[in-house]
Chain A
Amino acid sequence: MFPYMRGASFTMKLHCFDKKFFNSSPLLVPVQLPCRTETHFWYVLPDEVKSEALLSKYRELLPQSEEKKVDSMCGDELRKGALLARALVRTTIARYQINTEVSPRSLEFTTNIHGKPEVRWQHSDDWLPPPLHFNISHTSSLVACGVTMDSPIGIDVEEKQRAIKNNVLSFVRRYFSGHEVEHLSSILDPEVQRQEFLKLWTLKEAYVKALGRGFSASPFNTFTIRFGPAKEGSFHLSGKSNSEESEILVKSLDSSTHDTSTWQFALLELAGSHYASICRRKDIAPEGKASVPMKLKVWKTIPLVEDKIVSGTDSAVIIGGLS
């Protein structure tokens, strides 16, 4: 009942909004950049974006090349999702008010050598671009963007109800690490097993995306993610959280790679319908003290229209990590 009512009020708001919208430049309410220990997480629910006029405004924010990519998606829903993803990342980054030159439309994007998207800032002699990092993930029913300062970030979202077409244990034996296979094999209830698999998948995805080196550089069976016991004082987010929340740890299984203790995770249940994982570097306090836990701010948003902080509410329940 509530989701339906929320949808109705958003539609009404948008109808009133349309008239103003055509006569003015897009509304971009500024947002403060996250501090080094903070992670920002923005998400849109495509079902709540119904106004054709608003979708046209999103299109106007895109350069031709991106518009073409959106239009090459097969089907209306996929096109809408792709459009929302581009609109979300462009408006969000522009709202951080990096400088007066930056607008959603003026932002340029590129990819690193492994294909990870990043902002291509306009360099000039008297301006250094900020160390702003972002990462996008989406499903057909949720589009998300994570933002950090001075830390690579990877996020992944999956629908909780998502069906796994292959046999879960066969899949996990083929692609995950030995410890993870053991852990999932020990879960006897198939539904719980499927859910635990999905949570683990999103965490592994988020980690590989944070590393930014591509799927093949960090095969899923070369690292293990597991839940450790809850640390005392391990989260700084007031409000609701699952009482069984525990630390999330990653361990590399081959000697060649990176120090895995520098990465931290958060696992959330979003909008009651999705698992979302976030992975970023820990911010090491300069005096060599123990690293500061991740602070997380979550917004539900409709780009150019409104947003609502949902961290600490039922829409963003922490189910693991943050340490």
Chain B
Amino acid sequence: MASLLSTSPALSATLAYTAAPRCSMKQVNSFSTVLRASIQGGLRLVPKIHISKAATRTSPLSQRFRTRISCSIAQPETLAIVQNTIAKQLSIEESTVAPGTKFADLGADSLDTVEIMMALEEKFGVSIGEGGAENIATVQDAADLIEKVKSAAA
């Protein structure tokens, strides 16, 4: 039943974006201890912590992007696997599973959503938890959540 899914704007991670991939990997690693603590307290806390952390970066490039919101953190490969998993579960074309598409709009009911979460947990070797599924509105949210949980487990 799709009605269970959140219809409010999804909690997207805000992350200071830097051009160099190496820098963003460092950021992810330095965030990992913060993420681990915040996941225990509930994923709600994560966006707040990201903002304050970004503010302490000294690189001019990251400061310029400090106030950027709704920036996805999922790696392209992660997103691709998530899209493929969702398409298989719902028996639809992968092309209809665009990142911005809402689960509800794809006709996913609650059983589909939980099946997708389980398939993703198995594929990525992570544990999402029931709270995670509830805050996911779009395909991108699912990919971002996987990325967060992957980093925390790293």
Contact = CB atoms under 8 A, between A and B. Distances in A.
Are these two chains actual partners, yes or no? yes
Interface of A: 72-75, 77-78, 81, 111, 115-117, 136-140, 156, 158, 162, 164-166, 170-171, 174-175, 201, 205, 208-209, 214-216, 219-220
B105 to A, nearest CB: 5
Determine chain A's interface SS by DSSP, over half rule.
mixed
Given A215-B130, A216-B131, 4 more contacts: A75-B96, A75-B107, A205-B1, A209-B1
Contacts of B7: 111, 115
B110 A205 contact: yes
Interface string B80-114: 00000000110010001000011011110111001
Nearest to A164: B115
B133 interface: yes
A78 B107 contact: yes
Given A72-B102, A166-B119, A216-B130, A140 B3 contact: no
Nearest to A138: B1
A174 B134 contact: no
Interface of B: 1, 3-4, 6-8, 88-89, 92, 96, 101-102, 104-107, 109-111, 114-115, 118-119, 121, 130-131, 133-134
Contacts of A73: 104-105, 107
Contacts of A74: 92, 96, 101, 105-107
The majority secondary structure among interface residues of chain B is helix
A88 B3 CA distance: 15
A166 B96 CA distance: 22
Contacts of B111: 158, 162, 201, 205
Given A215-B130, A219-B130, A72 B3 contact: no
A80 B57 CA distance: 50
A123 B55 CA distance: 47
Contacts of B1: 136-138, 156, 205, 209
11 contacts: A74-B92, A115-B6, A137-B3, A162-B111, A166-B118, A170-B118, A201-B111, A205-B111, A214-B134, A216-B131, A216-B134
Nearest to B116: A165
Contacts of B105: 72-74, 78
B5 to A, nearest CB: 8
A165 B110 contact: no
A162 B3 CA distance: 19
Contacts of A81: 107
A205 B101 CA distance: 24
Contacts of A137: 1, 3
